[in-house]
Amino acid sequence: MNPAIEIRGLTRRFRKQEAVHDLTLTVPAGCACAFLGRNGAGKTTTIKMLAGLLRPTQGESFLHGCDSQKLQPVDWQRIGYVSENQELYGWLTVAELIAFTRALYPAWDLAFEQEITRMLELPLARKVRVLSRGERAKLALLLTIAFHPLLLILDEPFAGLDPLAREEFLTSLLEITAQQEWSLFFSTHEIDDVERLADQVAIIEEGVLQVNEPLDRLQQRFREIEVEGVPARTTPPPGALLAKQAGSRLSYIDAAFTDEAAIQALFPAARVRALPMSLKQIFLTQAKIFQLRKRAS
């Protein structure tokens, strides 16, 4: 089976500015991959190249085996895409826009549409132009999934949503995802939401891929280490990240954690704690390390 997404050496330059550099990434079929990075990291540029909306300077990408730059209408019958600023026909009612879109997809599932409409509590009689941002996001989601795409691509689906609307949207997406056998690729800087949705995490910084691995493996290998009772000016172990010491307390990040006993053996007279890290903490650690290395280069 072809991967859901396969990216090979993808690069995009805007004049002298390189937005994406030599990006290689594979998303297996059936996987939910979170594509993370700060604003301006290259997430949207990458997604536009995946959707065939932007031509790469070099490299190539494939969606379920189809060249992104050669996607045909028949290919879009199995690919759903919601952009960061999704344009919807504001003069139509919600019901009219759903009916209009339904006619474009032979595989549209009317029963599924009605189920999702109820789940998302969409106001069918209301004009699209007067919908809240959260309602527009839910409507865009319905229009993108009612034909059961094999691959769903979401660019910043939570952007601009207030906390309640974001929670409702995420809950709905989780419920729908549980019913479907699809692949999901989504960019976001709302890191707290990712752990509930993603199997795989890819982190990009200034167009360069920094991390790409399953979420559970990423969280297994990262630990915040706290060591109490060490001499002043204790040298952190090799590979320690963001180390700092205050008195007899040494703390650092271990990005290759195996077990606490191995760390205790380094500090036999001290008390050692290895604390699990959230994905947000890991993301911030990666960002700080990237900036430190950039300044040093």
Taken in order of first residue, the domains within the chain and their CATH numbers are 5-217 (3.40.50.300), 218-296 (no CATH)
By the 8 A CB rule, do 21 and 56 touch?
no
Please name the amino acid found at residue 14: F
Q: Answer yes or no: is pLDDT of 14 > 80.
A: yes
Cα–Cα distance measured from residue 150 to residue 140, given in angstroms and rounded to the nearest whole number: 17
| pLDDT tens per residue, range 157-196 | 877 777 887 788 788 778 777 777 789 999 987 788 788 8
Question: In the block, which residue shows the tokens 């009689």?
Answer: 125
| pLDDT tens per residue, range 205-220 | 999 999 999 999 999 9
Q: What is the mean pLDDT of residues 111-126?
A: 91
- Closest alpha carbon to 188 in 293, 280, 53, 271: 280
Tell whether pTM > 0.85.
yes
Rama region for 232: left / alpha / beta (φ>0; ψ in -120 to 50; rest): beta
Q: What angle do CA 168, 47, 180 make, to 5 degrees?
A: 45
Q: Answer yes or no: is pLDDT of 61 > 90.
A: yes
Length of the chain: 297
Cα–Cα distance measured from residue 185 to residue 201, given in angstroms and rounded to the nearest whole number: 10
Tokens of residue 122, six digits: 């969409």
Bridge partners (DSSP) of residue 187 are 35, 155
- Closest alpha carbon to 270 in 255, 256, 254, 249: 249
